[in-house]
Amino acid sequence: MHKSERLFQLVNLLKGRRLAVTARSLAAHFSVSERTIYRDIQDLQSSGVPIEGEAGIGYVIADYPLPPMMFSYDELTALLLGSKMVSAWTDPELSAHAKSAIAKIEAVLPAHLKQQHEHSPYLVSSFKHGPQQQSFSAKLRAAIETQRCVTLDYKDALQQHSQRVIEPLGLVYWGGKWTLIAFCQLRSDYREFRLDRITAINKNELTYAVSPDKNLNHYVELVKAKYAEEIAQHQGQAPDKSGQ
């Protein structure tokens, strides 16, 4: 483990303890010598971290805000990958914030982590998410946040056009496409609308309220129950190959 990462984890570990932790316990935790822990404690104290205690008794830390950046390589990979997905697959505003976050992360990466990041095996493509879908995503996100209905012009898989007044509840990315989960006022039920099949979105003055049986989590639970039932039925119809 790189020293800078160990120092960060040492602060984090001490912050989570009410009782003093001995240098021996810390050395065992980080697989280093007690002398290394003593040097780390001195370095942290010199940098202003309020660590109290002494050798042979143990150390504690007062309430202290953690520094803004020091992650392991795997943690950074997860953060950067997620930020790149947001940058490529959401609306322009969120994309700009994600790019800003990526720039801040990359600006403070230690040299050894920066080199590893430059050789990351992950690539996030945005070729399926054009300006129109990004614009629709922004309008729908705003409508969801303010709980305002919208009127959708929609084209289904059979190229049939319809217009619906819907209560947008959430946006779900299934891999390759975004889907709007909404409560359709015409059908009085949940409906799914693919963003790439929406042809227009118009605001209206209607508002709506979520409830225990009308919200995104409720929809997800219904979907889970549906698939669990289908799996159970499929398993129950599976032929018995045991010979009995």
Angle of the 3-15 helix axis to the 23-30 helix axis, nearest 10: 130
What is the tens place of the pLDDT at every residue in 26-71? 999 999 999 999 999 998 888 888 888 888 888 888 765 555 455 6
Between strands 148-155 and 51-54, the pairing is unpaired
Higher pLDDT, 113 or 21: 21
pTM of the model: 0.61
Give the separation between CA 232 and CA 239, rounded to whole angstroms: 14
Average pLDDT of the residues in 142-155: 94
**Cα–Cα dist 61/55, whole Å:** 15
Nearest to 173 by CA among 200, 199, 147, 192: 192
- Quick: pLDDT tens for 184-210: 998 999 999 999 899 999 988 899 999
| Burial grade of 27 (CB within 10 A; 0-12, 13-18, 19 or more) | middle
